[in-house]
Structure 1
Amino acid sequence: MPELRKDPIVGRWVIIADERARRPHDFKAAQAPLVGAQTCPFCEGHEEMTPPEILAYRDFGSRPNGPGWRVRVVPNRFPALKIEGELDKRGDGIYDRMAGVGAHEVIIESPHHHVSTASLPVENIREVLWVYRDRLVDLKRDRRLVHGMLFKNVGEGGGASLEHTHSQLIVTPIVPISVWEEMTGALEFFNYRGRCIYCDIVQQETAAEKRVVLDTPHFTAFCPYASRFPFETWIVPKTHESHFENIPKPAVDDLGHVLHQVLGKLETALDSPSYNYIVHTAPFDHSELPHYHWHIEVIPRLTRVAGFEWGSGFYINPVPPEHAAAFLREVEVATPRTGAAAREWVTGGRPQPLASKVP
């Protein structure tokens, strides 16, 4: 069973998950090549190679844990946290610990062996976003769980071990320290100015335009003023909303287009780099927050975090965000092909999945 332990100096929680050491590429100086299509457990027809699905958007008439799905969610085979058990919070001298209770799920974004989200039809990306929302709404009902983090690792440099396009969800029983720091900083600004700092940033960036990569009716994508990494890009909704799981359908439709364009620009301009994206959203146990604003951070892995960064908390970025944004604005992204995923997938304002759940 994984365990959560708290650093008593900075308040950071660490997950001790010894079972993840069984993953084949762990502790090797050079990571093994990413698993390809022939043996890929995420490809359609290989469903028996994964744990039973938690949720799937399927063609009607198809059976759970078999072909016919468009987006599929399964438990991670090597979970950082496990859904079973009680939190069992306790002290250990000056230390705090609790059982590693939570959820760790994999969202398989296509039945076909695409290695890039930007190669998917926009309708497919929209369904992935709906799955994100559905899983957060479902896990939010579990009173043991407090925060859900959606993220995507791409390429060896981004921490991926499978090349088939997928993302992950880890839900924790505590608020991660980086999320807490964001919320605290946003609250300090709100208490001083009476406004949401993210809303102010969106207004200033769209007015100045020099760091904007893409501007749509619902979202602004821009390279942040204090970018930590070259070509770091944030996607921020223009309408204030603290919880991603409350996203309405028009915003999902627009976000599918924005995410496709931003990832496509980065892949085209930077020769398909490794990258991560993270959905930053408010904790489950908070109602709507006037000071916090959900958003997505996309981080290409073009430079390495080394001793100075780890020791100081400073980041050294060799590409000014103004230059990065100007470059990305000029990059043209091909319109993705349409196909099975582009069929009538919305009825009554949202996807109608054939869902299957593990008992």
Structure 2
Amino acid sequence: MPEWRKDPLVKRWVVIATERGKRPCDFKVPQNEKKGGRCPLCPGHEGDTPPEVLAFRERGTSPDMPGWWVRVVPNKFPAVRIEAQTGVRRHGVYDVMDGLGAHEVVVEAPDHEAYLDALDERQLEEVIWAWQQRSLDLRRDTRLKYIQIFKNFGQTAGASLEHTHSQILATPMVPVDIQEEMQGFKHYAWSTGRCVLCDVLAQEVSERQRVVLETDKFISFAPFASRFPFETWIVPREHQHDFASIREEQVRDLARVLRSTLLRLRQSVGGPPFNMVLHTAPVNEPDTIHYHWHLEILPRLTIMAGFELGTGFYINPTPPEMAAEVLREQEVFCPPPVYAGGEREAVQYV
């Protein structure tokens, strides 16, 4: 029997189509076609990108030259620009403002062929540190209110470059989805005195039906009201509203959990296209302590159609209990690690 399930954070209803019960073999996973040609993110092509704003590189090497193992550059074709002006203008019934914001690309490794789950855990730690350091730097501009860290993998998930990378896009307003989550966290805290996501983790650990992987610091699980087949969240056990406050021991653990979760997804479903989004508290805004940051991995195995677009409801043909079981039972065969770095010495340019 199909089942409606309600997301406890944003009160969104999802249809879990249990009778369809799609397993990994039932999905046709689109294969990425190699584009070839010159890659602007590869070592030796640093001149093809704007000047770097952060780099972890070998001692003695120069900015915008080879020798880096993680590199952050402004997006060459940004959706928003930091030099834009603030201020909302009225145009009849419409509000308009300049395209203020920041849009950056995090080049996650020098190796053009590496996937994120193929990186050595230490290399993945360096990527997480880059996310954190750029988040701390961007918020110094008090006009910015939200910093979205995200990754598109695969052409159908919106990736335009093959070289492994993620993006950071900072905006002058808090996105509607984050506002809804903030309200959900606050309402639950006011009514119970607790964090809703902390309570979700406690129930998931107790029931053990949707947990994929757990460590001392993080839990990876398929959400009860998953919108997408094999949707997986990675959540810190500790209540922590701001991703940028992550500590060294958490970075190590997050790298391990993220790599293992992505490997399990690749080995079970065949490396599907996915979007990965990091939800964290707004910046330069008051009253954000109730928030609990988390990382969402959203495989693109189904297509949003008229019902989803017309109603905002999702139909998920794979129950999260089934997805978690499949992912949990995977024997993780780690590829040869890819670590290009040395001792991290951030070179950040203001």
Short-chain TM bin:
0.7 to 0.9
Matching residue of 2:174: 175
- 2:345 is aligned, of 337, 345, 352, to 352
Farther off after superposition, 106-115 or 251-260:
106-115
Find the aligned partners of 2:268 and 2:205 in 1 and give their Cα distance: 23
Kindly provide the amino acid, as one letter, of the partner of residue 243 in structure 2. F
Shift of 1:131: 0.3
Shift of 1:292: 1.1
Shift of 1:336: 4.5
Kindly provide the amino acid, as one letter, of the partner of residue 94 in structure 2. Y
Matching residue of 2:74: 75
- Is 1:335 the counterpart of 2:338? The answer is no
Kindly provide the amino acid, as one letter, of the partner of residue 324 in structure 1. A
Alignment of 1:111-190 (within 5 A): 111-190=110-189
Kindly provide the amino acid, as one letter, of the partner of residue 334 in structure 1. F
Find the aligned partners of 2:287 and 2:55 in 1 and give their Cα distance: 29
Shift of 1:201: 0.5
Find the aligned partners of 2:333 and 2:38 in 1 and give their Cα distance: 29
Matching residue of 1:325: 324
- Aligned pairs, how many? 319
Matching residue of 2:224: 225
Shift of 1:85: 2.8
Matching residue of 1:7: none
Shift of 1:163: 1.0
Find the aligned partners of 2:224 and 2:57 in 1 and give their Cα distance: 42
State the SS of the aligned residue for 1:72: strand
Asked whether the equivalents of residues 54 and 73 of structure 1 are also in contact (C-alpha less than 8 Å), the reply is yes
Aligned in 2, Cα 1:81/1:128: closer, same or farther, shift over 3 Å? same
Aligned in 2, Cα 1:66/1:339: closer, same or farther, shift over 3 Å? same
Matching residue of 2:45: 46
Kindly provide the amino acid, as one letter, of the partner of residue 254 in structure 2. L
- Is 1:207 the counterpart of 2:206? The answer is yes
Find the aligned partners of 1:229 and 1:95 in 2 and give their Cα distance: 34
Identity of aligned residues (%): 48
Asked whether the equivalents of residues 70 and 109 of structure 2 are also in contact (C-alpha less than 8 Å), the reply is yes
Find the aligned partners of 1:126 and 1:154 in 2 and give their Cα distance: 19
Kindly provide the amino acid, as one letter, of the partner of residue 352 in structure 1. E
Find the aligned partners of 2:150 and 2:134 in 1 and give their Cα distance: 13
Kindly provide the amino acid, as one letter, of the partner of residue 98 in structure 1. M
Aligned in 2, Cα 1:253/1:224: closer, same or farther, shift over 3 Å? same
Kindly provide the amino acid, as one letter, of the partner of residue 266 in structure 2. E
Matching residue of 2:278: 279
Asked whether the equivalents of residues 34 and 161 of structure 1 are also in contact (C-alpha less than 8 Å), the reply is no
Shift of 1:342: 6.2
Asked whether the equivalents of residues 213 and 329 of structure 1 are also in contact (C-alpha less than 8 Å), the reply is yes
Find the aligned partners of 1:180 and 1:289 in 2 and give their Cα distance: 11
Find the aligned partners of 1:249 and 1:260 in 2 and give their Cα distance: 17
Aligned in 2, Cα 1:241/1:273: closer, same or farther, shift over 3 Å? same
Shift of 1:157: 1.2
State the SS of the aligned residue for 1:210: coil
Asked whether the equivalents of residues 121 and 342 of structure 1 are also in contact (C-alpha less than 8 Å), the reply is no
- Is 1:96 the counterpart of 2:89? The answer is no
Shift of 1:80: 0.7
Asked whether the equivalents of residues 242 and 288 of structure 1 are also in contact (C-alpha less than 8 Å), the reply is no
Measured against aligned partners, the alpha-carbon deviations of 1:244-287 in whole angstroms (never above 9, x if no partner) come to: 00101100010000110011111111111100100000000235
Asked whether the equivalents of residues 118 and 338 of structure 2 are also in contact (C-alpha less than 8 Å), the reply is no
Matching residue of 1:310: 309
Query: Which residues of structure 2 form unaligned runs of 5+?
Result: 1-31
Shift of 1:74: 0.7
Kindly provide the amino acid, as one letter, of the partner of residue 231 in structure 2. E
Kindly provide the amino acid, as one letter, of the partner of residue 117 in structure 2. A
Shift of 1:89: 1.7
Aligned in 2, Cα 1:342/1:61: closer, same or farther, shift over 3 Å? closer
Shift of 1:61: 0.9
Aligned in 2, Cα 1:226/1:35: closer, same or farther, shift over 3 Å? same
Asked whether the equivalents of residues 212 and 325 of structure 2 are also in contact (C-alpha less than 8 Å), the reply is yes
State the SS of the aligned residue for 1:220: strand
Find the aligned partners of 1:61 and 1:315 in 2 and give their Cα distance: 52
Aligned in 2, Cα 1:257/1:88: closer, same or farther, shift over 3 Å? same
**RMSD between aligned residues:** 1.6
Find the aligned partners of 1:339 and 1:96 in 2 and give their Cα distance: 48
Asked whether the equivalents of residues 34 and 156 of structure 1 are also in contact (C-alpha less than 8 Å), the reply is no
Shift of 1:339: 5.9
